[in-house]
Structure 1
Amino acid sequence: MATTSKYNIYINEKSLIITSEVPKDLINYQLVEAQSFDFEKFYQALRKNPNSLFVMVCNDPKMVFKTIKDKVRVIEAAGGLVKNEDGKYLFIYRNGRWDLPKGKLEPKEKKKEAAVREVEEECGLKVKKLNEKIIKTYHVYEIKGKPVLKISHWYAMQAKGNQKLVPQLEEGITEVKWFAKQDFSIIKSNTFGNILEVINFVC
């Protein structure tokens, strides 16, 4: 049975969308053949491909994604989109870009617990309330020349806005700051595709 699920895998500044139907508003993309698809070969070939958006149309995106996941190393992470009483949202500045606090799950740690822990560690604040799960995002990076798939689980959170924010410098974080929605253009102009997916839920 066909599924309508869609997976957007971010790979550096590029992305691969696995879907049962090409989104109507999509332009300037390259189609990718689903049959005999080898993700590692695709990943290596991206370096010489000038295109930035790739689309694979298939009957069962979930199964195709599972096939990719089964063949690469997978790291689970969790993080949060934190809102304060003034309606502002918490962002971190890490390695030259605006980002959201997140990190890898510890052994046997639950996703919700990891999300809160990472937010508190990276930003130096206490989370007042953990709300619903927002989304899962997928991005690929490289370890020892091999692609690694990071699956990040994002949760909505609440916190008091008058806390002293302390960036976790050892994680490359140099600034932690609250932003109002009307200032999100600053974030959007210098962030990652997966972060845009998360903040689209409040824009």
Structure 2
Amino acid sequence: MEPLIIWIQERPLIICEQLQDIPECILPSSRQEYLVDIDKLDLQTMINQLQQGTTEACIMLSNDTSTVFQDIAKRYVMREAAGGLITDAQQDVLLIFRWGKWDLPKGKIEPGDDPKQTALREVHEETGLYHVAIERFICHTYHVYTDRHTNEQILKKTHWFKMQFTGTELTVPQIEEDILDVQWIKPVHIEKYLRYSYGTIRYVFYCAGYTT
């Protein structure tokens, strides 16, 4: 069973049924040292340790991962977004460069929109591509950040979709959203780019079937 992973300052808080559920791309080193006994260490202390960098990861074993996740989520303001992992006819993958990292196009789900509508809209706005179709759902990711305007602690859930580009138009980075570059990357080079990406993005590629 896939674990629930919340990224806090690029460090994973992992909720799973057993250690073998954790992919290598999330935590390649010894898992035992990151196991947390919830009876001895409360959730807020775990969150603080991840935020402050005093631990690189926390793992909670539970047969009821949903309930544990909800206990964590209630400490945050929840927001939802949607985005896409896009390939073309040559199976090259689209990546955007924003805030010093390689990323995938995504954006906030507006009232009245569903995740698929949002993902297609954000891909168009952030990359300039029109001829894009959704193939399938990939996964959800979760990460924590501080809202720059309200200073609220946000837990963002992002819906990710595999998409196919069938057009001929050139990419146009959305500069007003701080996107400096849009590139089509050969699959053989993906791992090199993911070294300069986010844990959530590496997990999307893992769930989509890439071996990086």
* Aligned positions of 1:1-203 closer than 5 A: 4=1, 6-23=3-20, 27=30, 29-35=33-39, 39-143=43-147, 144-160=150-166, 162-200=168-206, 201-203=208-210
Residue identity opposite 2:184 in structure 1: W
Percentage of matched positions with identical amino acids: 34
Q: TM-score, normalised by structure 1?
A: 0.89
How far apart, in 2, do the equivalents of 1:145 and 1:27 lie? 35
SS at match of 2:129: coil
CA displacement at 1:36 relative to structure 2:
8.4
Residue identity opposite 2:13 in structure 1: L
How far apart, in 1, do the equivalents of 2:40 and 2:68 lie? 11
How far apart, in 2, do the equivalents of 1:111 and 1:37 lie? 36
How far apart, in 2, do the equivalents of 1:9 and 1:109 lie? 24
SS at match of 2:19: coil
How far apart, in 1, do the equivalents of 2:82 and 2:41 lie? 29
SS at match of 1:140: strand
How far apart, in 1, do the equivalents of 2:152 and 2:30 lie? 30
How far apart, in 2, do the equivalents of 1:103 and 1:181 lie? 24
Residue identity opposite 2:10 in structure 1: E
CA displacement at 1:67 relative to structure 2:
1.9
In structure 2, stretches of 5+ residues that fail to align are none
How far apart, in 2, do the equivalents of 1:46 and 1:53 lie? 7
Return closer, same or farther for 1:86/1:48 CA change in 2, 3 Å cut-off.
Answer: closer
In structure 1, stretches of 5+ residues that fail to align are none
Residue identity opposite 1:202 in structure 2: G
How far apart, in 2, do the equivalents of 1:161 and 1:27 lie? 45
Q: TM-score, normalised by structure 2?
A: 0.85
CA displacement at 1:38 relative to structure 2:
5.3
